Amino acid sequence: MRAKIAAGAGDASAGPQLRPRGSVTGSPRGPSRILPLLFVVPFLVIIAAWVLAKSAFGVSDAALPSIGDVIHASSQLIDWGILPYDVAASLYRIALGTALAIVIGVPLGLLLGTSRYGVIMFGPFLRFFRAVSGIAILPLLIIWFGFTETTIQVAILYTALIPIIFSTMVGVRTIPPAYRDAIETMGAGSARLIRDVYLPGALASIVVGIRLGVGYGWRALIAGEMLVGAGGLGFMIFGALQFHALGQIVAGMILIGLLYLVIDRLILAPVEDATVRRWGVQRG
Amino acid sequence: MTARDRRLRHAIFMRALPVIPFAVLLIVWAAGWEIARPPLITLPSPVEVGQTVRRLWDSGQLQANTSASMYRWVLGFGVGVVSGLLLGVLAGLSPLIARMVEPVVSFFMAISGIVWLPIAIVWFGLGTPTVVFIIWNSVFFLVFANTVLGVRSVAAVLEDGVRTLGASRVHIITRVLIPGALPHILEGLRSGLGFGWRALIAAEIIGASTGLGAMIYQAKEFLRSDVIVTGVIVIAAIGLLLDAGLGLVERRTIERWGLVTEGAGTR
Amino acid sequence: MVRRSPARAGQLLADHDVTATSKRVPPTRQGGRIVCRGLAHTFVNARTGESVPALDTVDLVIEPGEFVTVCGPSGCGKTTLLRAIAGLITPTQGQVSCDDVVVRGPGKDRGVVFQELAILPWRTVRRNIAHGLEIQRVPKHEREERVAYFVGLMGLSGFEDKYPHELSGGMKQRVAVARTWAANPRVILMDEPFAAVDAQTRLTLQEELLRISIMSSNSIMFITHNVDEAVFLGDRVVVMTKRPGRIKAIVPVPVPRQERTVEAMADPQFVLLTDQVLHLVRGEVQ
């Protein structure tokens, strides 16, 4: 079990979750060939329970769609072009929001991390705004920007920005001062220092922060889409409520989960591993 | 200047530093408002916010909404923590189950919280049960996952050490594994806390008619940005208090035992 | 005291025939002249208000091309002195100048080899050594030549493309030394660079350092706890008092560096010198 558990869905109150702690000590007698496939068991259990709930316990369609309903709804949505559109809209928003958050957050984090009093001065300030989630400011954003794309984008940007600033700041501060001293004594100026020492040194931490930012931003995205109603997966599952299209709702939920997992595990996690492992940067 | 004077000056300086950004924000806000004089719907002045706080307090609205939110949060958080801990410890005891369960838990964590809102509304309608369910959802998986990790990461050598003293299984669980897993468990609680509180607000915005989230959402209908700002500040303040509260627990337990986890220094 | 084996001494000069490699030796700068006048430094703990005097009036001159070693008891301010000369701290009193220019901050004329690990973990050995040259915008092919020279000189051949975490402690320090030397500063400051390395490797590194210093003309200041090391390497040995440090004595080592081998170290003259310095240092510790 990797300690990145807290990373995707958890809070950044501790700053970035650094290297995974502990590892699963598998049973020495475990069947090694079957082991990788065992993870399907819980999913099978869930599906079995689902089927059972419908057939044996006769849970009505108004409460729980059947698996067939879900599959049917999915293919319908794809046929009508709704699903691709909503998926694209959501992905676009999270990508844009994250990119902006990186472009703004990393330099800010570098600035604060390298200044002597930066962390002390802005730490509580940032922590306060972290407590104001992107979702809570949505009503305010709606007043300012209306039920528009901008509202959603600002919400995502705001939500993703703070973990990125924090983790950049922390990353810079954990760089051993000897590194900076050594490069300074070779005559390097600030630009050099940033390029050769601060950025690479803080990179592992920054990537962790980006992962967190995407995790939070994704939630702000869904919430924003639910409220603003300008397309996107959040809007899709919320809108389906009106038509009581439960198959659609569940299909949407599964898709949202899968998409996030793909982004987090298949894209961001390998980047994080590559950064840390390649340079053997030890922390903590 | 004596050493004492130096110390005092330094202490004052350090205390003053974090206040500066807030002060600057306040000044810019007040000054900007004086200059631009935007209508109430866009941005209230700091003074107006103060008045609104007063008004909401006097009318009892603030307390009513806050207690509604807190009640739901306590319920959701409580059930989430208890269920997460229990199942987490059970799952953590077996490496096989722990590994098996990981992908499923990750999946449900990916959709935890408001993604369940539509279906929760179908099941429970609008109001408290929905909100509590959403909170439970957010908290449970986090606590569960961290508990499992915590139990698994207790060094086998600690366990063996006690076992060679002839301890029973139950004794090992309660006296070695749980305290040893505490850093991760508390980490899970800390994350779950913030997460649950945020999920609460989100759920109330969309799916309830009382509570702080509902309050700020309804204020939007009437374009009362002053109420929204007030609500947001209260929400943030409570979130911070909860987090600080848990920090206190941590200080008394794991920090005292020297079991601080990575990242603790950033709090 | 760790003894050097006679076999190694013969090897020292045979392995590295100076004349054979002299064609490839890159030119080194004329060593800088360091003048410390009335240098003193007091640390103030901002939180508690306490002041801790670290250095108490040091007047020291390092002549161009000299190899000066500094030793003294723990906490005597050797590192503070080095950092003041490097420009990493501003002394509370007094002044340091390098070639008649007052030192106001770190710069490429005064290179430092630190005690703790300071080579960048995200750069390969090759790129670490090249770093100073990169900063000085030395053209690529000249850079590569210098890097290759120092890789060979420091016994790092075959490891050029490894990352620091793949190297042993001794090798990492070799990279640190190579990096500073490759950058060719007028003055090279070394703060107990071999302290964290095992005894055998340490001897080897000392011999390598001496060898490089013979072939180059940079000024060197080398800090160490180890009296043997100080006497073996230095043209002059500066002995400091305990905190707050002042210069207690400066002991010249009249043996030319080229002639410093194990046999020479066993000479009564050398032994006497070593004992003298040891006695001076131990006098401070008691």
Residue B64 CB neighbours (<10 A): 14
Distance CA A193, CA A109 (A): 15
Chain B contact for C52 (CB, 8 A cutoff): no
- Residues in chain C where the model's pLDDT stays below 70: 1-26, 262-263
pLDDT tens digits in sequence order for chain A, 284 residues long? 333 344 333 333 333 333 233 333 334 444 456 666 777 788 888 888 888 888 877 777 777 888 888 888 888 888 888 888 999 999 999 999 999 999 999 999 999 999 888 888 998 888 888 888 888 889 889 888 888 999 999 999 999 999 999 999 999 999 999 999 999 999 898 899 999 999 999 998 999 899 999 999 999 999 999 988 888 999 999 988 888 888 889 999 999 999 999 999 888 888 888 877 766 554 43
* A226 to chain B, closest Cα gap in Å: 8
Handedness of CA A150, A156, A159, A162 (dihedral sign): negative
Q: Do A184 and C106 touch (CB under 8 A)?
A: yes
Q: What is the CA radius of gyration of chain A?
A: 22
Distance CA A65, CA A71 (A): 10
Q: Say how many Å lie between the first and final Cα of chain B, rounded.
A: 33
Task: Name, in order, each residue with C-beta under 8 angstroms of B34's C-beta and a sequence gap of 6 or more.
Answer: B45
Q: Which CA distances in Å does B97 have to A30, B32, B82?
A: 12, 59, 19
| C222: in domain | yes
Range of the structural domain that residue B81 is part of: 56-266
* B44: nearest Cα among B225, B188, B262, B172: B225
Q: Do C116 and A178 touch (CB under 8 A)?
A: yes
Same domain, B141 and B12: no
Cβ-Cβ contacts under 8 Å, B201 against chain A: 133, 135-136
For β-strands C187-191 and C247-252, DSSP reports them as: unpaired
Sequence-distant contacts of A40-46: CB under 8 A, at least 24 apart:
A41/B100, A42/B100, A42/B101, A42/B103, A42/B104, A43/B103, A43/B104, A46/B104
Most B CBs within 10 Å: which of C47, C51, C52, as the mutation test of the B interface? C47
* A203 to chain C, closest Cα gap in Å: 10
For chain B, list residues whose CB is within 8 angstroms of any CB belonging to chain C: 2-7, 10-11
Task: Name, in order, each residue with C-beta under 8 angstroms of A164's C-beta and a sequence gap of 6 or more.
Answer: A101, A102, A105, A106, A109, A206, A209, A210, A212, A213
Q: Which residue of C has its CA nearest to A195?
A: C135
Cβ-Cβ contacts under 8 Å, C49 against chain B: 2-7, 10
Q: Which residue of C has its CA nearest to B1?
A: C49
Cβ-Cβ contacts under 8 Å, A279 against chain C: 121-122, 163, 165
DSSP B174: I
Q: What is the pLDDT of residue A128?
A: 86
Q: What is the pLDDT of residue C13?
A: 41
Cβ-Cβ contacts under 8 Å, A187 against chain C: 106-109, 132, 135-136
Our separate counts of H helices and E strands in chain C read 10, 10
Q: Which CA distances in Å does A143 have to A138, A146, B33, B227, B240?
A: 9, 6, 17, 12, 26
**Class at the top of the CATH hierarchy for domain A82-279:** mainly alpha
Same domain, C81 and C196: yes
Distance CA A164, CA A210 (A): 6
Q: Which tokens belong to C57?
A: 């009036």
Longest dimension (CA), chain A: 77
| B42: in domain | no
* B148: nearest Cα among B73, B86, B219: B86
Q: B137 with B199: CB under 8 angstroms?
A: yes
For β-strands C101-102 and C93-98, DSSP reports them as: antiparallel
| C24: in domain | no
Q: Which tokens belong to A2?
A: 């990797």
* A97: nearest Cα among A134, A48, A46: A134
Tell me the angle at which helices A233-242 and A199-228 cross, rounded to the nearest 10 degrees: 20
Rounded average pLDDT over B53-58: 89
Q: C174 with C155: CB under 8 angstroms?
A: yes
Q: Which residue of B has its CA nearest to C45?
A: B7
Q: Which tokens belong to C127?
A: 């790129």
Same domain, C79 and C192: yes
Same domain, B216 and B162: yes
* A280: nearest Cα among C158, C162, C173: C162
pLDDT digits (tens, 9 = 90+) for B167-182: 677 777 777 787 888 8
| C204: in domain | yes
Q: Which residue of A has its CA nearest to B227?
A: A140
* A183 to chain C, closest Cα gap in Å: 8
Domain residue extents for chain A: 82-279
Among C184, C214, C229, residue at a domain's last position: C184
Cβ-Cβ contacts under 8 Å, A140 against chain B: 216, 220, 225, 228-229, 232
Phi, psi of C252 (to 5 degrees): -75, 145
Same domain, B78 and B201: yes
The residue ranking higher by pLDDT, C7 or B4, is: B4
E strands of B91-245, at which residues? none
Put simply, the chain A residues between 32 and 91 with a CB less than 8 A from any chain B CB are 35, 38-39, 41-43, 46, 62-63
Our separate counts of H helices and E strands in chain B read 12, 0
* CATH classification of the domain holding C214: 3.40.50.300
Same domain, B179 and B250: yes
Q: Do C46 and B2 touch (CB under 8 A)?
A: no
- Could you say which of C107, C118, C163 has the minimum Cβ distance to residue A187? C107
Q: B151 with B172: CB under 8 angstroms?
A: no
Length of chain A: 284
Same domain, C64 and C141: no
- Tell me the Ramachandran region of residue B125: left when phi exceeds 0, alpha when psi lies from -120 to 50, beta otherwise: left
Q: Do A184 and C164 touch (CB under 8 A)?
A: no
Q: Do C88 and A196 touch (CB under 8 A)?
A: no
**Predicted TM-score (pTM) of this structure:** 0.81
∠ CA C148-C153-C155, nearest 5°, is 95
Render the burial of A267-281: b for 16+ CB within 10 Å, e for the rest: ebbeebeebbeebeb
Q: Which amino acid is at A25?
A: T
Same domain, B17 and B91: no
Same domain, C266 and C196: yes
Q: Which residue of B has its CA nearest to C50?
A: B3
Same domain, C168 and C203: no
Distance CA A21, CA A190 (A): 35
Rounded average pLDDT over B77-95: 89
Structural domains in chain B (count): 2
- Could you say which of A176, A197, A280 has the minimum Cβ distance to residue C116? A176
Q: What is the CA radius of gyration of chain B?
A: 23
> What ipTM did this prediction achieve?
0.82
Distance CA A183, CA A162 (A): 30
| B44: in domain | no
Q: Say how many Å lie between the first and final Cα of chain C, rounded.
A: 20
Distance CA A22, CA C148 (A): 42
Same domain, B66 and B16: no
Tell me the angle at which helices B128-153 and B178-207 cross, rounded to the nearest 10 degrees: 160
Place of tokens 């500073």: C180
Phi, psi of A147 (to 5 degrees): -85, 65
Distance of CA C235 to the CA centre of its chain: 13
Same domain, C73 and C198: yes
Same domain, B72 and B111: yes
- Tell me the Ramachandran region of residue C20: left when phi exceeds 0, alpha when psi lies from -120 to 50, beta otherwise: alpha
Same domain, C136 and C245: no
Q: C238 with C60: CB under 8 angstroms?
A: yes
The SS3 of residue A114 is: helix
Q: Which tokens belong to A143?
A: 């007043």
The SS3 of residue A271 is: helix
Q: What is the pLDDT of residue A30?
A: 43
Task: Name, in order, each residue with C-beta under 8 angstroms of B24's C-beta and a sequence gap of 6 or more.
Answer: none
Q: Do A223 and B22 touch (CB under 8 A)?
A: no
Calculate what percentage of chain B has a pLDDT beyond 90: 20
Q: Do A279 and C122 touch (CB under 8 A)?
A: yes
Q: What is the pLDDT of residue C11?
A: 44
Same domain, B216 and B88: yes
Q: Do B153 and A219 touch (CB under 8 A)?
A: no
Rounded average pLDDT over B131-135: 94
Q: Do A284 and B95 touch (CB under 8 A)?
A: no
Q: Do A223 and B205 touch (CB under 8 A)?
A: yes
| C141: in domain | yes
| B48: in domain | no
Phi, psi of B250 (to 5 degrees): -60, -40
Calculate what percentage of chain A has a pLDDT beyond 70: 85
Same domain, C75 and C7: yes
Q: A84 with A262: CB under 8 angstroms?
A: no
Q: Which CA distances in Å does B84 have to A50, B88, B189, B252, C155?
A: 22, 6, 10, 22, 57
Of all helices (H) and strands (E), which one includes residue C48?
Answer: none
Position B155 pLDDT exceeds 60: yes
Q: Which tokens belong to A229?
A: 């109603």
* B51 to chain A, closest Cα gap in Å: 18
Task: Name, in order, each residue with C-beta under 8 angstroms of C93's C-beta and a sequence gap of 6 or more.
Answer: C38, C39, C40, C41, C57
Most A CBs within 10 Å: which of B10, B40, B119, as the mutation test of the A interface? B119
Chain B contact for A262 (CB, 8 A cutoff): no
* C53 to chain B, closest Cα gap in Å: 14
Q: Where are the alpha helices (DSSP H) in chain C?
A: 6-15, 18-21, 78-86, 125-135, 140-153, 169-182, 199-215, 227-233, 262-265, 268-285
For chain A, list residues whose CB is within 8 angstroms of any CB belonging to chain C: 176, 178-179, 181-188, 192, 196-197, 200-201, 203, 278-282
Same domain, C135 and C81: no
Cβ-Cβ contacts under 8 Å, B5 against chain C: 49
For β-strands C34-44 and C67-71, DSSP reports them as: unpaired
Chain B contact for C51 (CB, 8 A cutoff): yes
Same domain, C130 and C213: no
Same domain, C131 and C260: no
Q: A225 with A234: CB under 8 angstroms?
A: yes
Q: Which residue of B has its CA nearest to A282?
A: B262
Position B156 pLDDT exceeds 80: no
Subunits close to A (at least 3 CB pairs below 8 A): B, C
Q: What is the pLDDT of residue B41?
A: 67
| B64: in domain | yes
Distance CA A259, CA A247 (A): 18
Structural domains in chain C (count): 2
Distance CA B139, CA B145 (A): 10
Same domain, C41 and C154: no
Range of the structural domain that residue C147 is part of: 115-184
Between A and B, how many CB-CB pairs are < 8 A? 243
DSSP C267: S
pLDDT digits (tens, 9 = 90+) for C89-133: 999 999 999 999 999 999 989 999 998 889 998 899 999 999 999
Q: What is the dihedral of CA C113, C118, C122, C127, to 10 degrees?
A: 0
